[in-house]
Amino acid sequence: MKIGILTGGGDCPALNAVIRAAVKTSIGYGWDVLGIEEGFNGLVHCKCRILTTASVSGILHLGGTILGTTNAANPFCYPTVGEGGKTFECDISDTVVSNFRKLGLEALIVIGGDGTLTIAEKFYNKGIPLVGVPKTIDNDLNGTIVTFGFDTAVNTARDALDKLHTTAESHRRVLVVEVMGRNTGWIALQSGIAGGADVILIPEIPYKPEKIAHSIMVRERMGKHFSIVVVAEGAFPVGGKPTHAETRHAGRERRLGGIGERVASTVTELTGKETRVVILGHLQRGGPPTTFDRVLGTRFGAAAARLIKKGAFGRMVALIPPDVESVPIREAIGRLKTVPTDNDIIQSAREIGISFGD
Ligand code: F6P
Protein backbone atom coordinates (compact mmCIF):
# COMPACT_ATOMS: atom_id res chain seq x y z
CA MET A 1 0.00 0.00 0.00
CA LYS A 2 1.19 3.53 -0.77
CA ILE A 3 -0.36 6.44 1.09
CA GLY A 4 0.10 10.22 0.99
CA ILE A 5 0.07 12.68 3.86
CA LEU A 6 -0.38 16.45 3.68
CA THR A 7 -0.80 19.43 5.99
CA GLY A 8 -3.06 22.28 4.84
CA GLY A 9 -4.17 25.69 6.11
CA GLY A 10 -2.34 27.70 8.76
CA ASP A 11 0.48 25.88 10.53
CA CYS A 12 -0.07 24.78 14.09
CA PRO A 13 1.99 23.31 16.95
CA ALA A 14 2.12 19.46 16.91
CA LEU A 15 1.65 19.06 13.15
CA ASN A 16 5.01 17.30 13.19
CA ALA A 17 3.89 15.05 16.05
CA VAL A 18 0.94 13.92 13.90
CA ILE A 19 3.11 13.38 10.80
CA ARG A 20 5.66 11.41 12.84
CA ALA A 21 3.05 9.12 14.39
CA ALA A 22 1.17 8.56 11.11
CA VAL A 23 4.40 7.77 9.23
CA LYS A 24 5.78 5.44 11.91
CA THR A 25 2.45 3.59 12.22
CA SER A 26 2.09 3.27 8.43
CA ILE A 27 5.64 2.00 8.03
CA GLY A 28 4.88 -0.47 10.83
CA TYR A 29 2.02 -1.77 8.64
CA GLY A 30 4.50 -2.20 5.78
CA TRP A 31 3.20 0.74 3.73
CA ASP A 32 5.12 3.34 1.72
CA VAL A 33 4.43 6.96 2.67
CA LEU A 34 4.69 9.95 0.38
CA GLY A 35 4.86 13.37 2.03
CA ILE A 36 2.89 15.85 -0.11
CA GLU A 37 4.45 19.30 0.13
CA GLU A 38 2.60 22.60 0.75
CA GLY A 39 -0.91 21.22 1.25
CA PHE A 40 -3.00 20.45 -1.83
CA ASN A 41 -0.52 22.50 -3.86
CA GLY A 42 1.73 19.43 -3.71
CA LEU A 43 -0.91 17.42 -5.56
CA VAL A 44 -1.44 20.21 -8.09
CA HIS A 45 2.26 20.24 -8.98
CA CYS A 46 3.28 16.68 -7.89
CA LYS A 47 5.63 18.10 -5.26
CA CYS A 48 6.31 15.25 -2.85
CA ARG A 49 8.96 13.09 -1.24
CA ILE A 50 9.21 9.63 0.29
CA LEU A 51 8.97 9.73 4.08
CA THR A 52 10.93 7.17 6.07
CA THR A 53 11.41 6.61 9.78
CA ALA A 54 14.58 8.69 9.46
CA SER A 55 12.69 11.61 7.86
CA VAL A 56 10.41 11.90 10.89
CA SER A 57 13.08 11.41 13.50
CA GLY A 58 13.76 14.36 15.84
CA ILE A 59 10.67 16.38 14.86
CA LEU A 60 8.26 15.67 17.73
CA HIS A 61 9.11 18.84 19.63
CA LEU A 62 9.27 21.15 16.61
CA GLY A 63 6.59 23.71 15.70
CA GLY A 64 5.54 24.19 12.07
CA THR A 65 5.32 21.34 9.58
CA ILE A 66 8.17 19.56 7.81
CA LEU A 67 5.86 19.26 4.78
CA GLY A 68 5.13 22.96 4.44
CA THR A 69 1.58 24.30 4.15
CA THR A 70 -0.56 27.01 2.60
CA ASN A 71 -3.97 28.51 3.19
CA ALA A 72 -4.14 30.06 -0.27
CA ALA A 73 -4.31 27.11 -2.68
CA ASN A 74 -7.81 25.65 -2.73
CA PRO A 75 -7.88 23.53 -5.94
CA PHE A 76 -11.65 24.14 -6.29
CA CYS A 77 -11.04 27.90 -6.54
CA TYR A 78 -7.35 28.06 -7.32
CA PRO A 79 -5.81 31.53 -7.66
CA THR A 80 -4.76 31.83 -11.29
CA VAL A 81 -3.19 34.84 -12.99
CA GLY A 82 -4.99 35.74 -16.21
CA GLU A 83 -4.45 38.30 -18.94
CA GLY A 84 -3.41 41.72 -17.69
CA GLY A 85 -2.06 40.20 -14.46
CA LYS A 86 -5.52 39.97 -12.91
CA THR A 87 -5.98 37.04 -10.48
CA PHE A 88 -9.15 34.95 -10.76
CA GLU A 89 -10.30 31.65 -9.21
CA CYS A 90 -10.28 28.47 -11.29
CA ASP A 91 -11.42 24.86 -10.54
CA ILE A 92 -8.40 22.60 -11.09
CA SER A 93 -9.58 19.78 -8.83
CA ASP A 94 -9.48 17.21 -11.67
CA THR A 95 -5.71 17.76 -11.93
CA VAL A 96 -5.39 16.84 -8.25
CA VAL A 97 -7.40 13.63 -8.71
CA SER A 98 -5.37 12.57 -11.74
CA ASN A 99 -2.05 13.40 -10.03
CA PHE A 100 -3.13 11.39 -6.98
CA ARG A 101 -3.53 8.36 -9.30
CA LYS A 102 -0.39 9.14 -11.29
CA LEU A 103 1.64 9.07 -8.07
CA GLY A 104 0.30 5.59 -7.37
CA LEU A 105 -1.39 6.66 -4.15
CA GLU A 106 -4.12 4.49 -2.64
CA ALA A 107 -5.10 6.65 0.32
CA LEU A 108 -4.46 10.10 1.76
CA ILE A 109 -4.18 11.55 5.27
CA VAL A 110 -5.28 15.19 5.28
CA ILE A 111 -4.29 17.18 8.35
CA GLY A 112 -6.18 20.45 8.45
CA GLY A 113 -8.79 22.76 9.88
CA ASP A 114 -12.23 23.72 8.62
CA GLY A 115 -11.00 25.03 5.24
CA THR A 116 -8.68 22.13 4.42
CA LEU A 117 -11.14 19.46 5.59
CA THR A 118 -13.90 21.08 3.51
CA ILE A 119 -11.63 20.66 0.49
CA ALA A 120 -10.85 17.08 1.63
CA GLU A 121 -14.55 16.22 1.82
CA LYS A 122 -15.00 17.42 -1.77
CA PHE A 123 -12.08 15.24 -2.94
CA TYR A 124 -13.52 12.29 -1.02
CA ASN A 125 -16.75 12.81 -2.98
CA LYS A 126 -14.66 12.90 -6.17
CA GLY A 127 -13.28 9.44 -5.37
CA ILE A 128 -10.07 10.01 -3.35
CA PRO A 129 -10.00 7.59 -0.38
CA LEU A 130 -8.92 9.84 2.46
CA VAL A 131 -9.12 10.41 6.21
CA GLY A 132 -8.88 13.69 8.13
CA VAL A 133 -7.03 14.87 11.24
CA PRO A 134 -8.46 17.96 13.01
CA LYS A 135 -5.85 20.71 13.27
CA THR A 136 -6.28 24.30 14.38
CA ILE A 137 -5.22 26.58 17.18
CA ASP A 138 -8.75 28.04 16.95
CA ASN A 139 -10.46 24.85 18.29
CA ASP A 140 -13.45 25.67 16.08
CA LEU A 141 -13.99 22.24 14.49
CA ASN A 142 -17.03 20.16 15.37
CA GLY A 143 -16.90 16.42 16.06
CA THR A 144 -13.90 16.54 18.39
CA ILE A 145 -13.76 17.90 21.93
CA VAL A 146 -10.51 19.62 21.09
CA THR A 147 -8.19 20.09 18.10
CA PHE A 148 -4.44 19.67 18.47
CA GLY A 149 -2.49 22.95 18.62
CA PHE A 150 -5.12 24.73 20.70
CA ASP A 151 -3.50 23.91 24.04
CA THR A 152 -0.13 25.27 22.92
CA ALA A 153 -1.69 28.48 21.57
CA VAL A 154 -3.58 29.01 24.83
CA ASN A 155 -0.39 28.48 26.83
CA THR A 156 1.47 31.01 24.67
CA ALA A 157 -1.30 33.57 25.18
CA ARG A 158 -1.47 32.87 28.91
CA ASP A 159 2.27 33.25 29.22
CA ALA A 160 2.04 36.66 27.50
CA LEU A 161 -0.72 37.72 29.89
CA ASP A 162 1.42 36.74 32.90
CA LYS A 163 4.16 39.01 31.56
CA LEU A 164 1.86 41.88 30.63
CA HIS A 165 0.30 41.99 34.11
CA THR A 166 3.38 43.41 35.77
CA THR A 167 3.96 46.15 33.21
CA ALA A 168 0.25 47.08 33.21
CA GLU A 169 0.30 47.37 36.98
CA SER A 170 3.57 49.31 37.12
CA HIS A 171 2.29 51.91 34.64
CA ARG A 172 -1.35 51.92 35.80
CA ARG A 173 -2.40 51.21 32.24
CA VAL A 174 -5.06 49.22 30.47
CA LEU A 175 -3.47 46.54 28.32
CA VAL A 176 -5.60 45.25 25.48
CA VAL A 177 -4.35 41.91 24.19
CA GLU A 178 -5.68 40.74 20.81
CA VAL A 179 -5.55 36.98 20.36
CA MET A 180 -6.35 34.74 17.38
CA GLY A 181 -9.30 32.35 17.08
CA ARG A 182 -11.04 33.43 13.86
CA ASN A 183 -14.77 33.72 14.52
CA THR A 184 -14.70 31.91 17.86
CA GLY A 185 -13.52 32.92 21.31
CA TRP A 186 -11.90 29.69 22.57
CA ILE A 187 -8.34 31.05 22.82
CA ALA A 188 -9.49 34.34 24.38
CA LEU A 189 -11.69 32.59 26.91
CA GLN A 190 -9.22 29.97 28.10
CA SER A 191 -6.13 32.20 28.09
CA GLY A 192 -8.09 35.06 29.63
CA ILE A 193 -9.31 32.96 32.55
CA ALA A 194 -5.90 31.33 33.11
CA GLY A 195 -4.06 34.64 32.69
CA GLY A 196 -6.25 36.61 35.13
CA ALA A 197 -7.91 38.92 32.58
CA ASP A 198 -10.44 41.44 33.85
CA VAL A 199 -12.41 41.69 30.61
CA ILE A 200 -12.72 39.02 27.90
CA LEU A 201 -14.35 39.89 24.59
CA ILE A 202 -15.42 37.02 22.33
CA PRO A 203 -17.46 36.87 19.10
CA GLU A 204 -20.10 34.73 20.83
CA ILE A 205 -20.95 37.64 23.19
CA PRO A 206 -21.09 40.99 21.34
CA TYR A 207 -19.82 43.70 23.67
CA LYS A 208 -21.05 47.16 24.70
CA PRO A 209 -18.17 49.69 24.99
CA GLU A 210 -19.71 51.34 28.06
CA LYS A 211 -19.76 47.98 29.89
CA ILE A 212 -16.02 47.53 29.31
CA ALA A 213 -15.41 51.06 30.60
CA HIS A 214 -17.65 50.38 33.61
CA SER A 215 -15.64 47.29 34.62
CA ILE A 216 -12.37 49.20 34.34
CA MET A 217 -13.70 52.11 36.43
CA VAL A 218 -15.08 49.75 39.10
CA ARG A 219 -11.56 48.34 39.45
CA GLU A 220 -10.15 51.87 39.54
CA ARG A 221 -12.41 52.71 42.48
CA MET A 222 -11.24 49.54 44.24
CA GLY A 223 -7.67 50.81 43.96
CA LYS A 224 -6.80 48.54 41.02
CA HIS A 225 -5.36 51.11 38.64
CA PHE A 226 -4.65 48.70 35.80
CA SER A 227 -6.72 46.26 33.80
CA ILE A 228 -6.12 43.49 31.31
CA VAL A 229 -8.58 43.16 28.43
CA VAL A 230 -8.29 40.05 26.24
CA VAL A 231 -10.04 40.44 22.93
CA ALA A 232 -10.56 37.69 20.36
CA GLU A 233 -9.73 38.86 16.83
CA GLY A 234 -13.30 38.07 15.75
CA ALA A 235 -15.02 40.01 18.57
CA PHE A 236 -17.38 42.83 17.67
CA PRO A 237 -19.70 45.32 19.42
CA VAL A 238 -23.45 44.86 19.69
CA GLY A 239 -24.91 45.82 16.32
CA GLY A 240 -21.42 45.86 14.74
CA LYS A 241 -19.30 43.56 12.61
CA PRO A 242 -15.88 41.88 12.97
CA THR A 243 -12.86 43.99 12.00
CA HIS A 244 -10.78 42.82 9.04
CA ALA A 245 -7.10 43.47 8.41
CA GLU A 246 -7.41 43.29 4.63
CA THR A 247 -9.82 42.91 1.75
CA ARG A 248 -10.33 39.42 0.31
CA HIS A 249 -7.66 37.94 -1.98
CA ALA A 250 -8.42 35.27 -4.60
CA GLY A 251 -8.17 31.72 -3.22
CA ARG A 252 -7.99 32.62 0.45
CA GLU A 253 -10.12 33.73 3.37
CA ARG A 254 -10.26 37.36 4.41
CA ARG A 255 -8.01 37.98 7.42
CA LEU A 256 -9.38 39.31 10.72
CA GLY A 257 -7.48 41.90 12.73
CA GLY A 258 -7.60 45.38 14.21
CA ILE A 259 -10.21 44.93 16.94
CA GLY A 260 -7.57 45.46 19.65
CA GLU A 261 -6.88 49.02 18.46
CA ARG A 262 -10.60 49.67 18.20
CA VAL A 263 -11.25 48.53 21.77
CA ALA A 264 -8.22 50.42 23.12
CA SER A 265 -9.26 53.75 21.65
CA THR A 266 -12.81 53.29 22.96
CA VAL A 267 -11.44 52.54 26.43
CA THR A 268 -9.24 55.65 26.40
CA GLU A 269 -12.14 57.76 25.19
CA LEU A 270 -14.58 56.48 27.84
CA THR A 271 -12.24 56.17 30.84
CA GLY A 272 -9.41 58.62 30.17
CA LYS A 273 -6.97 55.80 30.99
CA GLU A 274 -3.78 55.24 29.10
CA THR A 275 -3.99 52.05 27.03
CA ARG A 276 -1.56 49.91 25.07
CA VAL A 277 -2.35 47.19 22.54
CA VAL A 278 -0.48 43.91 22.13
CA ILE A 279 -1.34 41.75 19.13
CA LEU A 280 -0.03 38.26 19.78
CA GLY A 281 -0.57 37.17 16.17
CA HIS A 282 1.45 34.31 14.78
CA LEU A 283 3.40 33.80 18.01
CA GLN A 284 0.39 31.69 18.97
CA ARG A 285 1.04 29.34 16.05
CA GLY A 286 4.70 28.68 16.77
CA GLY A 287 6.98 27.12 19.31
CA PRO A 288 7.28 23.64 20.75
CA PRO A 289 3.93 21.94 21.35
CA THR A 290 2.80 21.35 24.92
CA THR A 291 2.80 17.86 26.40
CA PHE A 292 -0.96 17.66 25.83
CA ASP A 293 -0.61 18.51 22.13
CA ARG A 294 2.31 16.10 21.60
CA VAL A 295 0.28 13.26 23.10
CA LEU A 296 -2.92 14.21 21.24
CA GLY A 297 -1.00 14.65 17.97
CA THR A 298 0.61 11.23 18.41
CA ARG A 299 -2.75 9.61 19.14
CA PHE A 300 -4.38 11.35 16.15
CA GLY A 301 -1.56 10.42 13.74
CA ALA A 302 -1.57 6.74 14.70
CA ALA A 303 -5.40 6.65 14.67
CA ALA A 304 -5.47 8.14 11.15
CA ALA A 305 -3.32 5.28 9.85
CA ARG A 306 -5.60 2.80 11.67
CA LEU A 307 -8.64 4.35 9.94
CA ILE A 308 -7.00 3.77 6.55
CA LYS A 309 -6.20 0.17 7.52
CA LYS A 310 -9.90 -0.34 8.32
CA GLY A 311 -10.92 1.33 5.05
CA ALA A 312 -12.95 3.91 7.03
CA PHE A 313 -12.60 6.67 4.43
CA GLY A 314 -14.33 10.04 4.56
CA ARG A 315 -13.87 10.06 8.34
CA MET A 316 -11.90 12.31 10.70
CA VAL A 317 -10.17 11.17 13.87
CA ALA A 318 -11.68 12.89 16.90
CA LEU A 319 -11.10 13.10 20.63
CA ILE A 320 -14.28 11.88 22.25
CA PRO A 321 -12.96 11.30 25.78
CA PRO A 322 -11.56 9.01 26.93
CA ASP A 323 -10.85 7.65 23.44
CA VAL A 324 -9.77 8.83 20.04
CA GLU A 325 -12.60 7.77 17.78
CA SER A 326 -13.77 8.97 14.38
CA VAL A 327 -16.65 10.95 12.86
CA PRO A 328 -17.65 11.60 9.24
CA ILE A 329 -15.64 14.61 7.96
CA ARG A 330 -18.90 16.21 6.81
CA GLU A 331 -20.06 16.41 10.45
CA ALA A 332 -16.98 18.40 11.46
CA ILE A 333 -17.04 21.08 8.78
CA GLY A 334 -19.22 23.92 7.57
CA ARG A 335 -20.55 24.94 10.97
CA LEU A 336 -18.11 26.41 13.47
CA LYS A 337 -17.86 25.02 16.99
CA THR A 338 -18.42 28.19 18.98
CA VAL A 339 -18.07 28.78 22.71
CA PRO A 340 -21.36 27.84 24.39
CA THR A 341 -22.46 30.93 26.26
CA ASP A 342 -24.59 29.08 28.79
CA ASN A 343 -21.97 26.67 30.12
CA ASP A 344 -20.21 26.62 33.46
CA ILE A 345 -16.95 28.15 32.18
CA ILE A 346 -18.62 31.43 31.28
CA GLN A 347 -20.72 31.27 34.44
CA SER A 348 -17.67 30.67 36.65
CA ALA A 349 -15.76 33.46 34.92
CA ARG A 350 -18.64 35.85 35.55
CA GLU A 351 -18.90 34.71 39.18
CA ILE A 352 -15.26 35.59 39.85
CA GLY A 353 -15.81 39.05 38.38
CA ILE A 354 -14.61 38.72 34.78
CA SER A 355 -16.63 40.96 32.46
CA PHE A 356 -17.61 39.90 28.94
CA GLY A 357 -18.54 43.47 28.12
CA ASP A 358 -22.25 42.64 27.88
O1 F6P B 1 -6.87 29.48 11.69
C2 F6P B 1 -5.66 29.79 12.31
C3 F6P B 1 -5.38 31.27 12.24
O4 F6P B 1 -4.17 31.51 12.93
C5 F6P B 1 -6.49 32.16 12.77
O6 F6P B 1 -6.52 32.20 14.18
C7 F6P B 1 -6.16 33.46 12.11
O8 F6P B 1 -7.33 34.25 11.95
C9 F6P B 1 -5.63 33.04 10.76
O10 F6P B 1 -5.21 31.70 10.89
C11 F6P B 1 -4.47 33.88 10.28
O12 F6P B 1 -4.12 33.47 9.01
P13 F6P B 1 -2.76 33.87 8.26
O14 F6P B 1 -1.72 32.87 8.65
O15 F6P B 1 -3.12 33.78 6.82
O16 F6P B 1 -2.39 35.25 8.70
Inter-CA distances, 269 with 155, 171, 226, Å: 32, 18, 16
SS3 state at 232? strand
| Known active-site residue 138 | yes
3-state secondary structure at position 47: coil
Q: What is the pLDDT of residues 18-27, one digit of tens each?
A: 999 999 999 9
Q: What rounded mean pLDDT belongs to the chain?
A: 96
d(CA 94, CA 219) in angstroms, rounded, equals 60
pLDDT, position 215: 98
d(CA 280, CA 139): 17
| Amino acid making up residue 6 | L
**pLDDT over 70 for what percent of the chain?**
99
Rounded to whole angstroms, the Cα distance separating 7 from 38 reads 7
Residue to mutate (ligand 1; options 255, 259, 282, 336; most atoms within 8 A of CB): 255
Average pLDDT over residues 7-31: 98
Q: Which atom of ligand 1 is nearest to the CA of 282?
A: 4
Identify the pLDDT of residue 251: 66
> Looking at residue 310, what is its pLDDT?
98
Nearest to 149 by CA among 132, 137, 139: 137
In the predicted structure, residue 248 carries a pLDDT above the cut 90: no
Distance CA 150, CA 264 (A): 26
> Does residue 111 or residue 72 have the better pLDDT?
111
Q: Name all residues whose Cβ lies below 6 A of ligand 1.
A: 10, 71, 113, 136-138, 180-182, 233, 255-256, 285
Q: Tell me: the pLDDT tens digits for 61-94? A: 999 999 999 998 899 999 888 888 888 889 999 9
Lowest-confidence pick of 184-193, 196-205, 246-255, 344-353 = 246-255
What 3 state SS string does 178-227 have? EECCCCCCHHHHHHHHHCCCCEEECCCCCECHHHHHHHHHHHHHCCCCCE
